[in-house]
Chain A
Amino acid sequence: MENKIIYGVTGIFDTPDEIISAAKQVKSSGFERFDVHSPYPIHGMPKAMRLGASPLGYFALVFGLTGAFAAFALMTYLMGYDYPLIISGKPFIPIPAFIPVTFEVTVLLASVGTVLAMLFLLFKLPNNSHPLHDTDYMKKVSSNKFGVCIEAKDEKFNEAEVIEFLKSIGAKDIEVIYYDNEALNFKVNIFEWMFVAFLVVSALVVSGATYIVLNKLMFAPPFNWMMEQHRLDAQVESKFFGKGNFSMRVAPAGTVSRNSNQFKFSGQPELADAKLINPLIPTEENLRKGMKKYDIYCSPCHGYYGIGDARLNGQFPNPPSLHSEKVRNWGDGHIFYVITEGQNSMPSYSSQLTNEEKWAIVLYVRALQRAMNAKEEDVK
């Protein structure tokens, strides 16, 4: 017992009336570091202990406002500026339609944030090594008794005097609580073999499971990733229209579509290479536009830097690098041609991109090529 550090002295009371008056007397005797323990909240106890108002309302206000502003700002930016789309003829920033999500995020952040702040900041939980745990005192106050604990950290604390004081206000079962030496001297040792083994095993399990799920399981049936589809293909002979007919109906000969923007060099890459000149100049604006469109349409296969290292690598025939000798020696017109007409597995992007956007992509691809194969004078 000698070398143990004292935490505090506790006393037990039987009824809620007694504990309220005990709390009042402890407080008025000048103790500050004391606490009252009871199996349920007792009405009037905060007043008896003279506790100030709970700060949690302010936490909720701050978290709630953060949620509201964050949700509203995010939606406004995404729908109004980053990728504006006209949906059901509504404006780009339809404020009434933003109300539900704003409300939900406000409630979510306010509730969860306040609870976490209360548990972790105010209460400093989880704490299972507190000296009060596993004492007879705790067993009583968690069930049917009420208790007062005066802590040794209080300025007026003196073991004998406090015990006398508690007796004088009617406390029973007075108990002196000590810190657990084992808990006090506990040092975290991260090189303990059990812990290291646990880390190694969990790393192996997590990485193994991730590998199996992402590389094997996700490609087992029924996950066919739309590569097999039971549908009519436009260029396949149709059972419905009879032999010699495609599923796609062929337009009468000589038909020209409205707003036709026919590509003059269809099927003639060399000619396109020779005749077409990029009408755009490499301003920052044009390059940014090219980058955005490149990231949307080209990067899924070619990768962000044109190396051909994208996420889809391995699932389709690997796309070639854009930094090969061949592509670098192509004229702008040839790259434009490939975007317009497609090549091998690559489809045409004519329906997704305007001519101007295609030229902007060409500019950006040129910039990427220059960056990967910089010349001496570029560095200067």
Chain B
Amino acid sequence: MSIEVLKEPSVIEGKPTFVEIDEQISSPIDKSPNIKYLIALGITSTMLLIGVISIGATFFYGIGLWGNNNPVGWAFDIINFVFWVGIGHAGTLISAILFLFRQKWRTGIARFAEGMTIFAVMTAALFPLIHVGRPWLAGYLFPYPNQHHLWVNFTSPLLWDVFAVSTYFTVSFVFWYIGLIPDFATLRDRAKSGVKKVIYSILSLGWRFSNRHWHNYEMIYLILAGFATPLVLSVHTIVSFDFAVSIMPGWHTTIFPPYFVAGAVFSGFAMVQNVLIIIRKIFNFEHIITLDTLEKMNKIMLATGSMVGYAYGMEFFIAWYSGSQFESFVFINRAFGPYAWAYWIMVSCNVVFPQLFWFKKIRRNIPIMFVIAVLVNVGMWFERFVIIVTSLAHDFMPSSWAYYKPTLVDFGILIGSSGLFFTLLLLFIKAMPVISIAEVKAVLDGAQPHHHTHNGGRNGK
């Protein structure tokens, strides 16, 4: 009580009661969809349809419909893959790493960010599949006993990708579902219609809120967070190995793993922030997803954006310092060659604009932060474009140099990938609690016993 000054302000504003929390969080599920929601769903599913048509055409006529040419064999599909996997990383960072650091402000946004992780990884996983050209043979990617006694190549980064992405998806999904079980049980007991009750009963597995269970439940949450933390770092590390393990100038650098992970968190936070700003407005979650939370997210964007900027600078420094003329050429060519437009879009969106977050007024101004986060996502997409296309288009042999031009089908698939992601997200919002009910209740004022000092007295009054 004498350390009242040190007490952290509650992460949830307005001192709502438990029942109010139940009602507010389940209100998007309880109400039937309004016209705004249907319009949004109409737009995203149209985008999805464009993607389905483009992918269908690709399957039918072959990947000749894409703009990929001889030196640039990896283009939009791998760019989109890296981009979407990166988007997913913010979710795991919020749910696992911030959990380990006991950051209570994560409770309001964790569930939503985890959902985004799952949908982003699903979207990303599409691209390696369609990139192989014959996706119905994707089973060959897994080691299974077959007639030819042939096995996959365990030394290839592309195979590591298969393991990394599928593990990442599975573990994220399990983590997300474990968090949802108590909330499904709460919804089950609130449900009035029979169908809803049956569905939520099945999904909740018959959870009983027993403290003998909560005791183990908290342990599994800690264990999963502990596993998810190195896992999320490994996933983008392995994605960066797809490039770094090759000998292509501009790809063959040891800075790639940390640089990719920082970039992934950067773009992921930008996406989470964008979507949350809309969600909190539409469903009146302003007191749960507070301005303070958004400000903290902007600080993380500032930090990771600066790391990415440092990596850009370091790549140039090493290109000069290594004395390798191929490296130097690639980097000078990136900044001043035929793809200079893409390079400078990347630098301005990723390095210059996020620096505005040094100012507290901008960090707390919703329209400005929204625009900056959109720019970050554009910039991060262009970062992958720059890395992949500029290196491939100008490789060791000047005779094979060519300029890469995407086709309409490429753009159709890109639009479709956003369509898939946002459609899944919208359906998620309507079907499941987008904020963890049990976790939010646990961090309300007065939710924990007074005498208890387990948490450094932060819950104490």
Contact = CB atoms under 8 A, between A and B. Distances in A.
A130 B185 CA distance: 13
Contacts of A36: 210-211
Interface in B133-158: 136, 143, 147-151, 153-157
A112 B166 CA distance: 13
A186 interface: no
B189 A143 contact: yes
Nearest to A127: B206
Interface stretch (B31-39, B44-52, B411-419, B450-458): B450-458
Give chain A's interface residue range (CB within 8 Å of chain B).
35 or more
15 contacts: A17-B449, A20-B449, A20-B452, A40-B441, A41-B215, A41-B438, A87-B153, A101-B154, A103-B234, A110-B223, A111-B170, A112-B170, A138-B208, A139-B189, A144-B17
Interface stretch (A52-60, A319-327, A360-368): A52-60
A250 interface: no
B192 to A, nearest CB: 12
Nearest to A19: B449
A221 B60 contact: yes
Interface string B164-204: 10110011001100100010011011100000000001100
A296 B215 contact: no
Contacts of A51: 211-212, 215
Interface stretch (A71-79, A196-204, A330-338, A341-349): A71-79
B174 A115 contact: yes
B163 A42 contact: no
Contacts of B149: 82-83, 292, 295-296
B132 to A, nearest CB: 14
Interface string B207-239: 111111111111110011001101100100010
A142 B209 contact: yes
A108 B167 contact: yes
B160 interface: yes
A75 B234 CA distance: 19
Given A82-B149, A112-B174, 15 more contacts: A40-B214, A41-B211, A42-B448, A43-B452, A45-B211, A74-B143, A97-B155, A100-B164, A101-B159, A111-B170, A114-B223, A118-B216, A127-B205, A142-B186, A142-B209
Contacts of A115: 174, 178, 220, 224
A164 B356 CA distance: 65
A83 B437 CA distance: 53
A16 to B, nearest CB: 5
A96 B230 CA distance: 18
B227 A110 contact: yes
Contact of B208 (A20, A37, A105, A292): A37
Interface in A77-92: 78-79, 82-83, 85, 87-88, 90
Interface in B398-455: 437-439, 441-442, 446-452, 454-455
A16 B159 contact: no
B206 A128 contact: yes
Contact of B154 (A56, A98, A111, A142): A98
A249 to B, nearest CB: 22
A222 B65 CA distance: 14
Contacts of B312: none
A218 B452 contact: no
A16 B147 contact: no
Nearest to B22: A143
B353 interface: no
B61 interface: yes
10 interchain residue pairs of minimum CB distance? A144-B18, A54-B219, A41-B214, A40-B442, A126-B205, A97-B155, A36-B211, A100-B160, A128-B206, A127-B206
A60 B150 CA distance: 32
B151 A104 contact: no
B216 A39 contact: no
Interface string A102-145: 01110110111011001100110111111011000011011110
B22 to A, nearest CB: 5
A193 interface: no
Given A16-B447, A100-B164, A108-B171, A132 B208 contact: yes
B438 A40 contact: yes
A123 B216 contact: yes
Contact of B211 (A15, A38, A110, A295): A38
B155 A94 contact: yes
Contacts of B166: 108
Contacts, number: 218
A264 B19 CA distance: 91
B19 A82 contact: no
B227 A83 contact: no
Given A82-B151, A83-B149, A101-B154, A41 B136 contact: no
A379 B201 CA distance: 63
Contact of B147 (A82, A83, A300): A300
A141 B166 CA distance: 37
B316 interface: no
A309 to B, nearest CB: 13
B127 interface: no
Contacts of B223: 56-57, 60, 110-111, 114
Contacts of B178: 115
Contacts of B339: none
B186 A107 contact: no
Among the interface residues A57, A103, A104, A114, which one has the most CB atoms of the partner chain B within 10 A? A104
Contact of A39 (B175, B186, B217, B455): B186
Give the interface centre of B159, B174, B185, B212 by most chain A CB atoms within 10 Å.
Answer: B212
A138 B450 CA distance: 25
Nearest to A126: B205
A35 interface: yes
A236 to B, nearest CB: 21
Contact of B190 (A143, A222, A310): A143
Nearest to A96: B155
Contact of A128 (B201, B437, B448): B201
Contacts of A20: 449, 451-452
B202 A105 contact: no
B77 to A, nearest CB: 18
A245 to B, nearest CB: 26
Contacts of B186: 39, 142-143
Contacts of A97: 154-155
* Chain A CB within 10 Å, residue with most, of B18, B164, B206, B450: B206
A111 B206 contact: no
B209 A78 contact: no
A295 B147 contact: yes
Contact of B171 (A39, A90, A112): A112
A310 B147 CA distance: 10
Nearest to A98: B154
Contacts of A100: 157, 160, 163-164, 234, 238, 241
B459 interface: yes
Contact of B167 (A78, A104, A128, A141): A104
A103 B186 CA distance: 36
B62 interface: yes
A13 to B, nearest CB: 12
Contacts of A37: 208-211
A240 interface: no
A42 B206 contact: no
Contacts of B202: 126, 128
Interface in A248-297: 292, 295-296
Contact of A114 (B61, B205, B220): B220
A202 B224 CA distance: 36
